[in-house]
Amino acid sequence: MGSEMASDWIRIIVGLIIVLAFSQVNALFLVWLERKVAGHIQLRYGPMEVGPHGILQTIADGIKLVGKELITPLAADWKLFIIAPVLVFMPVLVAFIVLPFGENLIIRDMNLGVLLIFGFSTLSVLAILAGGWAANNKYALLGAIRSVAQNVAYEIPLLLAVLSVVLMTQSLRFSEIVGAQSRVWFIFLQPVAGLIYLICATAETNRAPFDIPEAESELIAGFHTEYSGMRFGLFFLAEYTNMFIVSAVAAALFFGGWHGPFGLSLGIPGVVWFLAKVYVLLFVIMWVRWTFPRVRFDQLMNFSWKVMLPLSLLNLIVTAAVLKFI
């Protein structure tokens, strides 16, 4: 009994360390990749000095952020102010538990895996609101309010698109959904849902062109105006890890997860296929960021309620009709 509990605890701690390490290394790599992609799209190099081709640049940035003074504004609600970055980062870590990295590489293959991810991602929206409010800064508050409105508006078409896939597989369990794509990936069966998912996912993670809440030239810096040092670093980290999570969910739900094309694995392990797909999707998200101008806030909300929502509802109805009658 005692040794069972001990081995359980050891498994939990080791798993936690692995997840934390993976998310940190991933964020490190993604920040570097973003800067390089941005640079080359703009016909310049990006970071080149620190390390070969600037690979160690993010570490240098991290060290800089750690060394900065943690300023708390005088009239700010300091309890909320300090807890908000942590609250933004934690739900994102929880989502790692159910991601299907490979056939036997899911930490916990819960039968409500999909629901867990979207439930916890909504928690981080609350933390953004807390951070913006607690800063006692009208720009931060406006940025936080806009972020919450945007997240809530784009959550609905996102979930409807996911629901279309779930209707097809009749299961919320990731291993079953990925398993059902061994012949044909769902992106070919549900292209509209896939597109809606990708658009709503970029809006959910506050990425351009939907990054009004945190844009550098709008509202000073949006909801993280008053944050300095590692607190700001945590918001940043949470955003990149969130990007990874939504890309991983897209890869699992629409792009076949750990399967190769047409079900052939070509001798490459499933993990490698999965990670390759995730990073290609992440590259596409970055490519979109550096191509399009920022969407105005009313245009953003119009797009969600008047275009995304009807399209995703239509897609759901068509999926249901096809499943019923064919």
Partner 1 sequence: MSYWKEIFEGGWSLVEGMRVTVRRLVQPVVTVQYPRKQLTLSPAFRGHIEFKVFPEIGTHRCIACGTCQRTCPSGVIKVQGIKDHARAPKVATHYMIDFTRCSLCGLCVECCPTQTLKYSTEYQLEEESRWDGVYDLMARLEERQT
Residue numbers at the binding site for partner 1 (CB under 8 A): 37, 39-45, 48, 287-288, 290-292, 307
CA-wise closest residue to 215 among 138, 139, 149: 139
**Distance set, CA 281 to CA 137, 182, 254, 317 (Å):** 35, 20, 11, 27
Least CB distance from residue 192 to partner 1, whole Å? 11
Closer residue to partner 1 (CB): 66 or 307:
307
Least CB distance from residue 184 to partner 1, whole Å? 24
Phi-psi region of 102 (alpha: psi -120 to 50; beta: other; left: phi over 0): beta
Least CB distance from residue 290 to partner 1, whole Å? 6
Closer residue to partner 1 (CB): 42 or 265:
42
Closer residue to partner 1 (CB): 44 or 183:
44
**What tokens does 1 get?**
């009994």
Task: Give residues with Cβ within 8 angstroms of 110, minimum separation 6.
Answer: 97, 98, 116, 173
Closer residue to partner 1 (CB): 178 or 196:
196
Least CB distance from residue 44 to partner 1, whole Å? 5
Least CB distance from residue 321 to partner 1, whole Å? 20
Asked if residue 198 lies in contact with residue 250, where contact means CB atoms within 8 angstroms, the answer is yes
**What tokens does 49 get?**
């000095």
CA-wise closest residue to 315 among 210, 158, 173, 184: 158
Closer residue to partner 1 (CB): 268 or 314:
314
